[in-house]
Amino acid sequence: MNTIVLPKKSSFGQVQIPLPSSKSESNRVLIIDALTEGKNKLSNLAEARDTQTMIRLLKEDPATYDVLDAGTTMRFLTAYAALNNRKKTMTGTARMCERPIGILVDALKELGASITYLKKEGYPPLSIEGFSGQKTNQIEIRGDVSSQYISALLMNAPLLPNGLVLDLTGKIGSRTYITMTLELMKAFGVDYVFEGSQIRIAPGKYQATTFSVESDWSGASYWFSLLACADAGELYLKGLKAESLQGDAKIVDIMDKLGVESEFQSDGVILRKKEITGLSSFDFTHCPDLAQTVAVTCALTGQTSDFTGLESLRIKETDRIDALQKELAKIGALLEERKPGVFTLVPATIIPETVRIATYDDHRMAMAFMPLITRTKLVIDDPEVVNKSYPSFWKHCSLLEIVPEYNNE
């Protein structure tokens, strides 16, 4: 197994970090671009493996869409192929084929798609066998599992002959990602109505336009965390906007309570240290990808906090709740479900001189635990896992005058 060793470093000077582009925005505009027959002028697309996989599959148009480990790509391309009468086989890595897709498939079948499971019911691989014509223009879908199912349907909705009325049932999770999808559709000429738990999209066409993808707020969150945990430092994160479509921009408010103030400039944001006021609780329903980052930050800054809205973490690249519990235990921290759906973070106690973190094939586990370098020497397993969303992450760590050591065991 490959590992990366990062020496302890608790303070640093003024450092500028050139962030990656938003994977979430990139993946959405690529589907919209395909539905506009590639007539748009897109720039600053993400270098993340997920996005590059989608670019390759849309360009090459193979009979089998092998999405590797890209969950977003699996869901978006499944809906794209099914509702545009493209006969495809959908597959991916072993873990990808353990991630459920039944809710989306049921919705697509209800609309008129013909889809067969090739192995286990409710999971990839799938055979998409065509679209027989729109059977209905109004369906229900659960709002509490994955917003990507909802986004996948919405982006294709304008090209359905009768449009789409989508009724979301139950608690609506990751609402900010749904809003991002709708606002990006609007940027390409498609209007929507989102009232209560119902979304209405009229039939129509996307309009070709010019679009530049914003820098990635989830990628930015690890640098917020590092500064919160450090003794001293100042960071400048390029390419972020004060008014962002990305739900993970909520990290600004969270980290304001954990000791980081943000000052927006014309082309980015300056992060500075400030007094910690405390984060007693937080609901991650609309920004679940921040949970690991905030958990580690609280553990290292002495904050006991109650976390809710973590339901979707069970079906990510790994069971992120289980992975967090195991790795936080290595620094004496706990993440306990003391009430149903409420996880209490109890901060670190005694941190060993060297800590080795397993990553569970999950890019966010590797990056979320990086701020441990402010307390100890850190060894991270399978560092290449960051290529899924932030390929230059370890290179950017070196901007802090940290010299990573790579080992192959």
Same-domain check for residues 340 and 232 = yes
What stretch of H or E contains 165?
Answer: strand 164-169
Same-domain check for residues 8 and 146 = no
Burial 218-244 (b: 16+ CB within 10 A, else e): bbbbbbbbbbbbbeebebbbebbbeeb
pLDDT beyond 80 at 33: yes
pLDDT beyond 90 at 37: no
- What per-residue confidence (pLDDT) applies to 315? 67
Point out the domain boundary residue: 139, 167, 202: 202
Same-domain check for residues 16 and 28 = no
pLDDT beyond 90 at 178: yes
Q: Is residue 94 part of a domain?
A: yes
Q: How many Å separate Cα 266 from the centre of its chain?
A: 25
- What per-residue confidence (pLDDT) applies to 38? 78
CATH number at residue 270: 3.65.10.10
Q: Is residue 37 part of a domain?
A: yes
Same-domain check for residues 336 and 402 = yes
Indicate the pLDDT class of residue 403, thresholds 50, 70 and 90. confident
Same-domain check for residues 292 and 169 = no
Share of the chain above pLDDT 70, in %: 100
Closest CA to 164 of 45, 79, 257: 79
Share of the chain above pLDDT 90, in %: 89
Q: How many domains does the chain have?
A: 2
Q: Is residue 77 part of a domain?
A: yes
Query: From CA 369, how far away is CA 197, in angstroms rounded?
Result: 36
Same-domain check for residues 366 and 252 = yes
Q: Whole-model pTM? A: 0.87
Q: Is residue 207 part of a domain?
A: no
Strands 41-43 and 210-212: parallel
Residue 86 to residues 131, 150, 252, 399, Cα–Cα distance (Å): 8, 20, 42, 45
- What per-residue confidence (pLDDT) applies to 409? 72
Same-domain check for residues 364 and 255 = yes
Q: Are 192 and 182 in contact (CB under 8 A)?
A: yes
Give the number of other CB atoms < 10 A from CB of residue 34: 22
pLDDT beyond 80 at 32: yes
Tokens of 161: 């002959």
Indicate the pLDDT class of residue 352, thresholds 50, 70 and 90. very high
Same-domain check for residues 325 and 337 = yes
Same-domain check for residues 299 and 359 = yes
Point out the domain boundary residue: 149, 167, 202: 202
Residues 41-52, mean pLDDT to the nearest whole number: 94
Q: What is the pLDDT of residues 60-102, one digit of tens each?
A: 999 999 999 999 999 999 999 999 999 999 999 998 999 999 9
- What per-residue confidence (pLDDT) applies to 246? 94
Same-domain check for residues 136 and 197 = yes
pLDDT beyond 90 at 233: yes
Residues 247-264, mean pLDDT to the nearest whole number: 97
Query: From CA 211, how far away is CA 337, in angstroms rounded?
Result: 43
- What per-residue confidence (pLDDT) applies to 249? 96
Residues 114-122, mean pLDDT to the nearest whole number: 97
pLDDT beyond 90 at 296: yes
Residues 206-223, mean pLDDT to the nearest whole number: 96
Same-domain check for residues 123 and 36 = yes
- What per-residue confidence (pLDDT) applies to 23? 93
Q: Is residue 329 part of a domain?
A: yes
Find the domain containing 155 and state its range: 23-202
- What per-residue confidence (pLDDT) applies to 39? 86
Round the average pLDDT of the chain to a whole number and report it.
95
Point out the domain boundary residue: 202, 235, 263: 202
- What per-residue confidence (pLDDT) applies to 408? 85
Q: Is residue 363 part of a domain?
A: yes
Residues assigned a catalytic role = 289
pLDDT beyond 80 at 157: yes
- What per-residue confidence (pLDDT) applies to 313? 78
Higher-pLDDT residue of 261 and 349 is 261
pLDDT beyond 70 at 148: yes
Q: Which residues contact 331 (CB under 8 A, 6 or more apart)?
A: 299, 300, 348, 349, 350, 351, 352, 355, 372, 375
pLDDT beyond 80 at 318: no
Q: Is residue 210 part of a domain?
A: no
Q: Is residue 149 part of a domain?
A: yes
Same-domain check for residues 114 and 230 = no
